Amino acid sequence: MAPDFSRQHGLDKLLAPASIAIVGASDNPDKIGGRPIHYMRRHGYTGTLYPINPQRTQVQGERTWPNLDALPAAPDLAIVAVAGEQAVQAVNRCAELGVAAAIVISAGFSETGAEGRAQQDAMTARARAAGMRIVGPNSQGLANFGNGAIACFSTMFLEIEPADGPVAVISQSGGMSAMVYGLLRQRGLGVRHVHATGNEADVTVADLACAVLRDPEVRIVLLYLESLQDVGALAHAAALARERGVPLVAVKSGRSEAGARAAASHTGAMASEDRVVDAYFEHHGILRARDPHELVRIAELALRSPLPQGPRVVVVSNSGASCVLASDAAIEHGLQIAPLADPTQRELVNRLPGYATTTNPIDITAALLSNNGLFGQVLPVIADDPAADMFLIDIPVAGRGYDVGTFAADTAAFAQASTKPVVVVAWQDNVAAAFRAQGVAVYADEQQATRAMAALHRLHQWQARNAGHRHALAHRDSSTSTQTNPESTTTDAFGSLHSRSSFLSESQSLALLSRYGLTVADHTCCTDADAAVAAWRAIDAPVALKACSARLPHKSEHGLVTLGLNDECTLRDAFDRQAKTLAALGIDDATWIVARMQDGLHECALGMRHDPVFGPVIMIGSGGKYVEAMQDVALLLPPFSAEDVIEKLQGLRIGTLLAGVRGDPPADIAAFARQAVQLGDCALAANGKLASIDINPVLVRAQGQGAIALDALIELTTTPDPENP
Amino acid sequence: MAPDFSRQHGLDKLLAPASIAIVGASDNPDKIGGRPIHYMRRHGYTGTLYPINPQRTQVQGERTWPNLDALPAAPDLAIVAVAGEQAVQAVNRCAELGVAAAIVISAGFSETGAEGRAQQDAMTARARAAGMRIVGPNSQGLANFGNGAIACFSTMFLEIEPADGPVAVISQSGGMSAMVYGLLRQRGLGVRHVHATGNEADVTVADLACAVLRDPEVRIVLLYLESLQDVGALAHAAALARERGVPLVAVKSGRSEAGARAAASHTGAMASEDRVVDAYFEHHGILRARDPHELVRIAELALRSPLPQGPRVVVVSNSGASCVLASDAAIEHGLQIAPLADPTQRELVNRLPGYATTTNPIDITAALLSNNGLFGQVLPVIADDPAADMFLIDIPVAGRGYDVGTFAADTAAFAQASTKPVVVVAWQDNVAAAFRAQGVAVYADEQQATRAMAALHRLHQWQARNAGHRHALAHRDSSTSTQTNPESTTTDAFGSLHSRSSFLSESQSLALLSRYGLTVADHTCCTDADAAVAAWRAIDAPVALKACSARLPHKSEHGLVTLGLNDECTLRDAFDRQAKTLAALGIDDATWIVARMQDGLHECALGMRHDPVFGPVIMIGSGGKYVEAMQDVALLLPPFSAEDVIEKLQGLRIGTLLAGVRGDPPADIAAFARQAVQLGDCALAANGKLASIDINPVLVRAQGQGAIALDALIELTTTPDPENP
């Protein structure tokens, strides 16, 4: 995941070009080749425009050039707005002439099938060889309202007037870049960057995210993604965002199978398992929004408020019913409603009528009608109450007799003086408009408001996490990574792997995990019955006998596991039975494991899958026979800390059991968490050589008594056989 | 739950009064005593108004009377808009004069505490004695736009112009009745009834729901509730609604503990466990909306569309990204995206450009820009496709060049001809307005649209359920109910119950359940070791020995359960140990159960709690030691069918296991469902005598081999001791 800085080559000229050629320039501002010229003239682009049109001497009042070769100098940027073969020729000529970057608006490439993809690949290869960057093809273009470089043909900038501001929007889909822009502007938020990457032959959303994060005016970056393939570059963008304290918020659509199918036919997006996407975003501190509507709601709060430093919400409303609704919504989204401190309540009693409610939520009642200054009088009283990490003001009823302007002004004055978020729910459009005009974040309902508040609280928690143990992790990561230290002994563990199938046997699997510090069950490997009996005698306690072969990964399904053996006769019987079963299956490479029977409190599981996009993904959760059916698991991307594991466990049902219920002692969660961390280290060190690891059960004992892997199955990554693909 | 028809006494006069007295009538239309007069003059009330004001001869152009006694006749309705003691006097005088109903707007009663409650109770008792109904006190009033009887002081009818229509809104909170009205009118929906019940001293939301359901013009009834106490009357309203095919949709706020606390201080609402509320609503076919915003969104779809007959959605959009977002949202809410039939796809290929997507979702692309008739051309092709139970049209981008009027007209024409719901998601306000003007249901985003669609699909499923096995249930219910048949033998089972504590012992509990047809473990009760040994010999297999006393409900925590005994010596040892433990605990009434050890596939649980509001609630789900911690349970209100149980099980994790995973055979779900139905019958027959029943585990065996209750604990309802409350 080391950042590839060369990927930023040329992007400065893409976002701030000193000169722009428009191939296919039109005099008609409503044509694709005309609209960027119209926009750039309108929004004060101060660089040089080179409209290219062999038929006209000027378009929209600008002098034209007959072709690229006629230009006095190679422009920083070329907008290619001609179709088909003409577009390919123009891009190729740009590359030859030394143009820094081209935005290819033209469609008909990889989105149409194999032939289009081949054409796109060839065009991209020629550009790359010449050092020219390509946006698109099939891109709506890029727009930078900071300098008027609007290389984009969206109609949306005509529908809703642009205003420069702190937001950057970057989208694979052109439609969504425009719609997010539109939703932001409807909320009165200024937008600087509106970029669409289309087919992403070269420049990706992640590349542009890195680029806009170098613009110091950008205070939030919003992404719309239908696929996640460029995860290294996106991780780099996330690191830049964290460094600058800029929220990076993303929609990754195609969450469902049906949605992913639709995304595949829209942008050819490759499907990723959605919970892995969640784990990836969380790992990198990228907030995930459910859809573009929520993306914009989160942006409004992030821009208009500081981050909430805790989960406690104080609700203030002129309606008792709204107090109830807002409390329900806050709790639903994981926030808290805590009682106000006694002195605060006493002061509220002084300021509010007797029938008002002075706990939390605070119902100031229709008394607001006779005293329009009540919001202004109440808010300062609760400003510093320990129950208040943020404030939610809910105004459903505000008709005749209500001075909404005063409410808004009082609230805005309070919000500006406060270090805590202030959020308004306004049921009526005129009320929303009054508050928004004062720069206060406004939502149409309690669900929308509290979801946004919860998202920003999560961001605060992640920032706090970064300030803490993540630093230690980053350090540890670099010291154990096999990429940076190819001759470490840990690498040898994988270099020497060999197996007749794509699986390791249980004994090989346990041995490998043991080398990574995981505690595995005390066991002896044997190849005959006498050795098995000797092993049992040495253990001197009930044992399990398990026949292991890399060719039989699911041995229990074949009756090759016998438990609780504690006398020679039964042990020999079991051995014979298993040997017969193996013979019948044609397995000749089996060894036997004799393992001490173990007691513990709970059966957990650990797992790893090597995802083709995200790399190793670690699974923690409930174990036992029904691990898949119970779906009580969480995912983490390594490296992570034991604290991360414990936090995830707390969200699972097994977490409740591990804490100790029904008279059980608390379990050794710390030991299980350490095993998970070690598994993560093992997976990173394997560097793609392991396809999957299943450790089930991991027996977790009482606090202080450890956790122990009883069974394990490791699958190796198979390189496709070139003879027999 | 037999309907109390006398509760409807006088409500006709409340909703359609021939004459209305206004106590505290004001000349100022902005005063509480003035606004109803203003509204009634404005909205064409044709009955007689009797403004009462001793200081003036007329108000707002209407002749006044000095007091109630001066009226020429007792009015059907009196609006009491004076404060404090004056209000009480006016209500009392109304009762004496034979007024049919009074709406008490005045506040200061039960919502202020014990003294106010006493005053309210006394006033209500006098009214009841005289046969007069009371709405309120602390009510915003009732409004009927069908006849202009607007006995309500809300400002909202000034803010947004009323229009009569098919919607009835009934709310405990005045503010919410007005806000729901406002949200409905913003969506262009006509509203006839807007009623607020305030403190509900007499008339409840449920009473008014029954009353408005007798108005044939009412096509949907929307409720806002903060407490559920009048569940019998609400069940009657639900039955009326089902009979008429009118959707009954309700918000019950106070879902969270914090919300319930806020509701308690708002309307004195008593908290109910929220999942019991869900079970009650589902039992009666009342759709639950999360908040008033969703209530109104569901209403829009219910009024503008037929009910969806299945879960399959066809998505059509001019944006590929919206296709993805809409598919994700549909799946998230339990709907389905199925592929279109081949002939449909072929026909779409003919009508759409080559780069459009002709599966489902259908991306008609920006080709819409050059052919504004595309929606009209595409919709008829998919009208009868088997993948289409409903249609979702998503229009994010529609600026310059798009003829939104044509889209809306084409869509409306299609919707009117279709028997399937057509829903539009419009990201831009002008697009929404164009569709709404054509009578099409419109939502701001995919989440809102698909949640409403899923809600109405659920309603359809409930209606189908009603048409089927519910009839059989209703019949069975009346034949087993102890209320209607107090001398049945089933009653005797409870009449003879006695115990030294509030619990029955395990053997008593199992015996009672067995009498209700539940299969319980084969066991023998004994009082000494010799009898226990004899019992084991008779069983001739491993047994469990359990010491039972009604005074020790949780025997396993005291080590009074010993499993797997299969020889005399060990059995006697275990008996002696248990006897010593009992002696140490001072228990002298123990009996022993000797029960055959049982094998089975899965441990389930059944339970019953007698809820003070809802009566018996049956719990089904995963069993075993961790039943509470695992929270894998569902609730049902009896009577219910085995099909209902199986449907609920399918939503649980244990349902997955019972179906057979990891090589397990399918379990005998039908037998478990029968046990649940029998438990429901038992709970109904007990008629409140049993506080709770816990049956855990219920061992479920392979299909055809039954389910068996291994342990049970029944708690009796204790009547509070009047000496020692």
Q: What is the CATH number of the domain that holds A530?
A: 3.30.1490.20
Whether B293 and A261 lie within 8 Å, measured CB to CB: no
pLDDT at B468: 61
What is residue B486's predicted lDDT score, i.e. its pLDDT?
34
Q: How far apart are CA B31 and CA B59, in angstroms?
A: 12
Which residue is it, tokens 């300062």? A380
For residue A401, the chain B residues in CB contact (below 8 A) are 30, 155
pLDDT at position B200: 95
Is residue B173 within 8 angstroms of chain A, CB to CB? Answer: yes
Scanning B620-639 for CB atoms below 8 A from A yields 625-626, 628-631
Helix (H, G, I), strand (E, B) or coil at A100: coil
Q: For residue A404, what pLDDT band results from cuts at 50, 70 and 90? A: very high
A370 in contact with chain B, both atoms CB, cutoff 8 A: no
Taking residues A674-700, what's their average pLDDT?
95
Both structure tokens of A235: 């991780």
Calculate mean pLDDT across residues A376-391: 95
Q: Which of A472-481, A526-535, B540-549 has the lowest mean pLDDT?
A: A472-481
Contact at 8 Å (CB) between A319 and B173? yes
Top residue of B324, B400, B403 to mutate, by most chain A CBs within 10 Å, is: B324
- Predicted local confidence at residue B482, as pLDDT: 35
Q: What pLDDT was estimated at residue B488?
A: 41
Number of domains in chain B: 4
Tell me which amino acid residue B10 is: G
Residue of B nearest to A402 (CA): B155
Burial call A609-648: b when 16+ CB within 10 Å, e when fewer: bbbebbbbbbbbbbbebbbebbebbbbbbbbbbbebbbbb
Residue with tokens 């006095």: A72
CA dihedral B128, B130, B132, B136 (to 10 degrees): -50
Q: How far is CA B150 from CA A187, A457, B36, B40, B143, in A?
A: 37, 46, 6, 6, 4
Asked if B23 and B77 count as a contact pair (C-beta separation under 8 A), the reply is: no
Residue of A nearest to B355 (CA): A112
B461, pLDDT greater than 90: yes
Chain A positions in Cβ-Cβ contact with residue B392 (cut-off 8 Å): none
In a domain, A637, yes or no: no
pLDDT of residue B401: 83
Predicted TM-score (pTM) of the model is: 0.93
The residue with tokens 């939301």 is B205
Amino acid found at B463:
Q
Residues of B in contact with A224 (CB under 8 A): 321
Which pLDDT value is given to residue B725?
A: 41
Q: How far apart are CA A442 and CA A297, in angstroms?
A: 9
Spell out where B126-239 has E strands.
133-135, 141-144, 149-152, 167-171, 191-196, 220-225
CA distances from A362 to A330, B227, B354 (A): 14, 20, 59
Question: Taking all residues of chain A, what is their mean pLDDT, rounded to a whole number?
Answer: 91
Which residue of B185, B194, B328 to mutate against A (max A Cβ within 10 Å)? B328
Nearest to A426 by CA among A326, A302, A312, A357: A326
Q: Do A239 and A289 sit in the same domain of this protein? A: yes
* pLDDT above 60 (res B477): no
| Residue A486 covered by a domain | no
Q: How confident is the model at residue A627 (pLDDT cuts 50, 70, 90)?
A: confident
Q: Do B427 and A183 touch (CB under 8 A)?
A: yes
pLDDT given for residue B557 in this prediction: 76
The CA R_g of chain B, rounded to the nearest whole Å, is 31
Q: Is A545 exposed, middle or buried (0-12, 13-18, 19+ CB in 10 A)?
A: buried
> Do B388 and B295 fall within a single domain?
no
Single out the residue of B464, B455, B460, B422 nearest to residue B298, CA to CA: B455
A256 touches chain B (CB under 8 A): yes
CATH code, domain with A84: 3.40.50.720
In a shared domain, residues A277 and A394: no
Q: A460 and A528 share a domain?
A: no
- The answer to the question of residue A545 being in a domain is yes
* Mean pLDDT (whole number) for A459-470: 79
For residues A555 and A462, which has the higher predicted lDDT (pLDDT)?
A462
Per-residue confidence (pLDDT) for residue B269, from 0 to 100: 67
Tokens of residue A682, six digits: 């093992």
A113-149 per-position pLDDT tens digit: 899 999 999 999 999 999 999 999 999 999 999 999 9
> Nearest to residue B222, comparing CAs of B283, B184, B170?
B170
Nearest to A338 by CA among A314, A317, A357, A362: A314
Last residue of one domain, picked from the residues A543, A561, A596: A596
Contacts of B62 (CB under 8 A, 6+ apart): B25, B37, B41, B49, B51
Distance CA B612, CA A459 (A): 43
> Residue B156 corresponds to which tokens in the numbers above?
């909202």
Would the pLDDT of B34 be above 90? yes
B58 interfacial to chain A (CB closer than 8 Å): no
Strands of A360-413, DSSP E: 362-363, 390-395
d(CA B546, CA A108): 78
pLDDT at B478 over 50: no
CA distances from B639 to A408, B436, B480, B509, B618 (A): 53, 42, 10, 21, 10
Q: pLDDT confidence of A59, banded at 50, 70, 90?
A: very high
Selected residue with higher pLDDT from A593 and B473 = A593
8 Å CB contact of B324 and A111: no
| Residues of A in Cβ contact (< 8 Å) with B267 | 320
Domain boundary residue, one of A270, A302, A334:
A302
Region A31-53: mean pLDDT is 96
Distance of CA A669 to the CA centre of its chain: 27
Least confident stretch, B61-70, B296-305, B422-431, B716-725: B716-725
A482-to-A422, A513, B102, B225 alpha-carbon distances in Å: 48, 17, 83, 62
Write down the ipTM of this complex.
Answer: 0.92
Cβ contacts below 8 Å, chain A against chain B, sum to: 230
Q: Looking at the predicted structure, is the pLDDT value of residue A494 above 80? A: no
What is residue A493's predicted lDDT score, i.e. its pLDDT?
59
pLDDT over 70 percentage in chain B? 93
Mean pLDDT of B659-677: 94
pLDDT band at B483 (very low <50, low <70, confident <90, very high): very low
The rounded distance, in Å, linking the Cα atoms of A523 and B77 is 88
Interface probe, candidates A153, A225, A323, A328, chain B, greatest B C-beta count within 10 A: A328
Q: Which residue has the higher pLDDT, B713 or A589?
A: B713
The pLDDT of residue B625 is 86
Contact with chain B for residue A155, Cβ under 8 A: yes
Positive/negative CA dihedral, A551, A556, A560, A563: positive
In terms of domains, do B580 and B505 share one?
no
* Tens digit of each residue's pLDDT (9 = 90 or more) over B325-382: 999 999 999 999 999 999 999 999 999 888 788 899 999 988 888 888 999 999 999 9
Are B149 and B183 in a shared domain? yes
Give the per-residue pLDDT at A229. 81
What pLDDT is attached to residue A269?
67
Q: Is residue B326 part of a domain?
A: yes
Confidence of residue A495 (pLDDT cuts 50, 70, 90): low
Q: Residue B724: what pLDDT?
A: 47
Do residues B119 and B207 share a domain?
yes
Q: Is residue B478 part of a domain?
A: no
Whether residue B153 lies within 8 A of chain A, CB to CB, comes out as no
How far is the first Cα of chain B from the last one, in angstroms, to the nearest whole number? Answer: 29
Residue with tokens 């009954």: B248
| Nearest-by-Cβ selection for B159 from A259, A322, A399 | A399
pLDDT at B487 over 50: no
Residue A669 lies in a domain: no
Q: Hey, are the CB atoms on B258 and A158 less than 8 Å from each other?
A: no
| Whether residues A460 and A583 fall in one domain | no
- CATH code assigned at A420: 3.40.50.261
User: Does A158 sit within 8 Å of B399, measured CB to CB?
Assistant: yes
- Please say whether the beta carbons of A20 and A77 come within 8 A: yes
CB contact under 8 A, B324 and A262: yes
Distance of alpha carbon B548 from alpha carbon B595, whole angstroms: 12
Q: List, for residues B309-326, the tens digit of each pLDDT value.
A: 999 999 999 999 999 999
Give me the pLDDT at residue A719, please.
66
Looking at residue A499, its amino acid is: S
Say how far apart CA B18 and CA B40 lie, in whole Å.
Answer: 13
Least confident of A490-504, B428-442, B605-619: A490-504
Contact residues, chain B, for A111 at CB < 8 Å: 355
Q: B679 in a domain, yes or no?
A: yes
Return the SS3 of A690.
Answer: strand
Strand order of the β-sheet with A191-196 is A149-152, A141-144, A191-196, A167-171, A220-225, A248-252, A287-289
d(C-alpha B155, C-alpha B133), whole Å: 25
Same domain, A191 and A323: no
Residues of A in contact with B258 (CB under 8 A): 327-328, 330-331, 336-337
pLDDT of residue A28: 95
Say if strands B141-144 and B191-196 run parallel, antiparallel, or are unpaired.
Answer: antiparallel
Indicate whether B643 and B588 sit together in one domain. Answer: no
Confidence (pLDDT) at B4: 46
Query: pLDDT band for position B629 (50/70/90)?
Result: confident
Q: Domain residues for B347?
A: 308-465
Nearest CA to A180 out of A210, A220, A134 is that of A220
Q: What is the pLDDT of residue A498?
A: 56
- B574 and B654: one domain? no
Nearest to A661 among B266, B329, B629 (CB): B629
pLDDT at res. A477 = 47
With respect to residue A79, please indicate whether it lies within any of the assigned structural domains: yes
A553, A578, A596: which is the final residue of a domain? A596
Neighbours of B376 (CB within 10 A): 16
Q: What is the mean pLDDT of chain B?
A: 91
8 Å CB contact of B266 and A173: no
The beta-carbon neighbor of B327 closest among A262, A332, A628 is: A262
Judge whether residue A5 has pLDDT over 80: no
Same domain, B325 and B459: yes
pLDDT digit string (tens) for A410-449? 999 999 999 999 999 999 999 999 999 999 999 999 999 9
DSSP B556: G
